[in-house]
Structure 1
Amino acid sequence: MPTPKTTDHSAQSLAEELRMSIARLGRRLRRQGNHRLTITQFAALAAIERHHEMTPRELADHEKVQPPSMTRVITALELERLVERSPHPTDGRQVVVRVTDRGRTLMREERARKEAWLSQRLAELTSQERAILEQAAPILDKLSKA
C-alpha cells in the first residue's frame, strides 16, 4: 500500500484523490448490502430513522430533492413496509413518516453487514494506517456536513 502523500499536495489534487477514493469505498460498501433499495431510498430511510419521524417536506429538504421525488421514494418504502405514514399530531393537513420495525431491522442488518466488511478491511491494514484513519474520520465527517 502506498504511503500517504503529505508534501507537494495542492488542495485540488487532494480533492481529486479523496473524491475518487471515497466514491470507490462507497461503491464497495453499497455492494455489501443485501437489499434492492436504491441509494436514495436507503438515504431517506436512514434519515427518517435518525429523526424518528419527518414530514415528507422535511425529508425532501433534508435529502435536497424536490417534494414530488420524495413522495415517490416514500411510496416505494411504504410498499416494502419499511415506513408508514400517520396523521401529523398538530397539523391535520400533513402526515409524518416513521420507520416500521421491518425498516429498523433492515437498516440494522445492512449496517452490520457493511461494518463487518469494513472491519475486515481495516484489520488488514497496519496499526499506523488504522491510526491515521482514526484521526481522519472526524475530519471526513466535518467535510460531509459542510
Structure 2
Amino acid sequence: MGTIAEQSTALRMSTLRLARRLRAERVDPSLSDGQFAVLGWLHKRGPLTLTQLAEHERVSAPSMNRTVNCLEESGYLVREADEADRRRSNIRLTEAGRDIVTTTLKQRDAWLTTRLRDLSKEDRATLARAAELMGDLATL
C-alpha cells in the first residue's frame, strides 16, 4: 500500500485523471472548464451577481465579466437588473444554458456508468465507499 505520502500522491493523481476525463465529456466542446463551472453554479444556485460568481470561482470581477460576456454571447445566460438595486445585475441561465448543463451532466454520468459496469460488484462497493470518504475529505 505504500506510505501515507505515496497513497496521497496516488489518490491525487487518480482523482485528477478521472476528473479530467469526466470534464472531456461535454456537449459543447467550445466551452472551457471555467465557463462550464459558471453554468453549473448558476444551475445549482439560481441567479447570482457577477461578484458572487467571481468569489465562488476565485477570480477577479473583470475576469468573470469576460467569462459572463462570452456565455451571454453564446446564449447560455442573461443579465437582468436587480429589482432591489437597479445598479446591480443578476445573472441567470437561459433555457439553452440549462439544457447544456443537464445534457452534459447526463453524458458524464453515462460515461461513468458504462465504466462502472465493467467492474465487479465488490469493486463498485469499494468505489462507493471511497466516494463517501472523498466527500468527507473535501469538507475537512
- TM-score bracket for this pair, using the shorter chain length: over 0.9
2:22 and 2:3 map into 1 onto residues whose CA distance is 27
- Aligned length in residues: 139
Does residue 1:58 correspond to 2:83, yes or no?
no
1:131 is matched with: 125
2:9 to 9, 13, 16: 16
Superimposed CA distance per residue, residues 27-69 of structure 1 (whole angstroms, 9 cap, x where no aligned partner): 2112221311000000011011111110000011011111111
Judge which range, 113-122 or 134-143, deviates more. 134-143
Which segments of structure 1 move beyond 6 Å, counting only runs of 4 or more?
Answer: none
Counting only pairs closer than 5 Å after superposition, residues 90-101 of structure 1 correspond to structure 2 as 90-101=84-95
1:117–1:127 CA distance, 2 compared to 1 (3 A):
same
- Indicate conservation of the 8 Å contact 2:27/2:100, yes or no: no
Q: 1:110 aligns to what SS in structure 2?
A: helix
1:132–1:61 CA distance, 2 compared to 1 (3 A):
same
2:35 to 41, 46, 66: 41
1:124–1:41 CA distance, 2 compared to 1 (3 A):
same
TM-score, normalised on structure 2? 0.93
Q: Which has the higher contact order (CA 8 A, sep 6+)?
A: 2
2:77 is matched with: 83
Q: 1:96 aligns to what SS in structure 2?
A: strand
1:139 and 1:98 map into 2 onto residues whose CA distance is 33
How far residue 22 of structure 1 moved from its aligned partner, in angstroms, is: 1.1
Identity of aligned pairs, percent?
33
User: Unpaired segments of 5 or more residues in structure 1?
Assistant: none
How far residue 145 of structure 1 moved from its aligned partner, in angstroms, is: 4.1
